[in-house]
Amino acid sequence: MSPCKRRFVAGRSFSELGEGNQTLRAKSVHGNLYTPDPTRQIGGVAVRGREDTRRYAVVVGSANMDLVATTERVPAAGETVTGIDFRTFPGGKGANQAVGVAKLGGRCFLIGKVGQDAFGDSLLASISGAGVEVDRVGRVKDASTGIAVILVESGGENRIVVVRGANERVLPSDVDAAADMISSAAALLVQLEVPLSAVSRAVQIAHEAGVKVILDPGPAPAEPLPDSLLEMVDVITPNQLEASVLTGLTRVESQSDAERAGRRLLEKGVGTAVVKLGADGAVVVSRTREPVAIPGHRVKAVDTTAAGDTFAAALTVGIMEGLDDVEACVFANAAAAISVQRPGAQASIPTRSEVDAFLSRHPSRL
């Protein structure tokens, strides 16, 4: 039976969800159980028997203030419904993922833009307070800080409207100004909430320097990304909608659909495709092995807003530590499973110790 056909613990159903410089435990696969390995370390110390002096990740991406309203159901056109709760949270895919890397044990620099307004002040304080280096986050006078209006149903599903604001001002020149920092990183993590020209420039710099490039292609692009960009991406992590847009497939719903989408992405030049399948987990499609199906975990979802960002951040940390793609995805699934049980974006992202404990209780069988 090929790895992509293996099933996990009988009788279990799953829901896919997908500080600083201290020495922390990493993960490895022992047989078919994925459990913490206390003998491995992070932060430039003895990863798979080699010394990795590139000890940080760079995230190029958005920073938004999330305005979150919780309701029993979203209103139909022309309808008004009474909400349950309203809160504001620091967010934006770039900022979320940078905070995720920091909370999960990696050093991280964020390149982005915010407005010279109260939301911008609050975002910078929150992001830096989480351990992210924000020296490369610029302030824009004539544009507001980006916002995201998020409607969360009581079951945890969400609908999001983003007003990009200052995020639209992230330019290739901003990336060029940080070229040395990107070239010396262990990994570059990018998304699609800032202009594609800036994303492409960052990917080019990282690729030419031999830095691992992880692309979380959200929000779903209006059209497929150019192959010239995808050829420089080491790992891409689309959800079902994003995979459909990027590959031209009518739909991506089943495991076989995900395998097909992953192979198409490999044909476009991507190194590894991790296609996320909602409640059915994720499928890893690479050039070195048969596709591998990885489940999520059975949890009660409260808010799925940051599940994908948590997954991307954890995957990046795993790759920085020397885990292979499958190991890193198992780690990412666990981190995302924790995040959906909490409200908010950055506030929901777990710490490394929380993920270690979760995996000790819920090892995944491959």
| 34, two tokens | 């994925």
Please name the amino acid found at residue 269: G
Return the structure tokens found at 73. Answer: 């159901």
The reported pLDDT for the residue numbered 127 is 97
Residue 345's pLDDT is 84
Check: CB of residue 355 under 8 Å from CB of residue 339: no
Look up residue 133 and give its amino acid. E
The strand pairing partners of 26, in sequence order, are: 37
Residues 216, 257, 280, 309: which is the catalytic one?
A: 309
- Homologous superfamily (CATH) for 13-63+92-142+167-361: Ribokinase (3.40.1190.20)
End-to-end CA distance of the chain: 12
The C-alpha atoms of residue 189 and residue 102 are separated, in whole angstroms, by 13
Amino acid type, 230:
L
216 a catalytic residue: no
**Considering the entire predicted model, what is its pTM?**
0.82
Q: Tokens 């009988």 sit at which residue?
A: 10
pLDDT at 279 (0 to 100)? 67
SS (H, E, C) the chain: CCHHHCCCCCCCCCECCCCCCCCCCEEEEECCEEEEECCCCCCCCCECCECCCCCEEEEECCCEEEEEEEECCCCCCCCCCCCCEEEEEEECHHHHHHHHHHHCCCEEEEEEEEECCHHHHHHHHHHHHCCCECCCEEEECCCCCEEEEEEEECCCCEEEEEECHHHHHCCHHHHHCCHHHHHCCCEEEECCCCCHHHHHHHHHHHHHCCCEEEECCCCCCCCCCCHHHHCCCCEECCCHHHHHHHHCCCCCCCHHHHHHHHHHHHHCCCCEEEEECHHHCEEEEECCCCCEEECCECCCCCCCCCHHHHHHHHHHHHHHHCCCHHHHHHHHHHHHHHHCCCCCCHHHCCCHHHHHHHHHHCCCEC
Check: CB of residue 244 under 8 Å from CB of residue 261.
Answer: yes
User: C-alpha 175: how far from its chain's center?
Assistant: 20
User: Contact 110/94 with Cβ under 8 angstroms?
Assistant: yes
Torsion over CA: 108, 220, 341, 326 (sign):
negative
46 dihedral zone (left: phi>0; alpha: psi -120 to 50; beta): left
Identify the pLDDT of residue 239.
96
Q: Where are the domains of the chain?
A: 13-63+92-142+167-361
Whether the Cβ atoms of residue 313 and residue 97 lie closer than 8 Å to each other: yes
| pLDDT, tens digit only, all 366 positions of the chain | 443 332 222 222 223 333 333 222 333 333 333 344 444 433 332 333 333 445 899 999 999 998 989 999 999 999 999 999 999 989 999 999 999 999 999 999 999 999 999 999 999 999 999 999 999 999 999 999 999 898 989 887 888 888 999 999 999 999 999 999 999 999 999 999 999 999 999 999 999 999 999 999 999 998 899 999 999 999 999 999 999 999 999 999 999 999 999 999 999 999 999 999 876 789 999 999 999 999 878 888 888 888 999 999 999 999 999 999 999 999 999 999 999 988 888 989 999 999 999 999 988 766
Joined together, the tokens standing for residue 313 give 């951040």
The Cα–Cα gap between 223 and 331 comes to 31
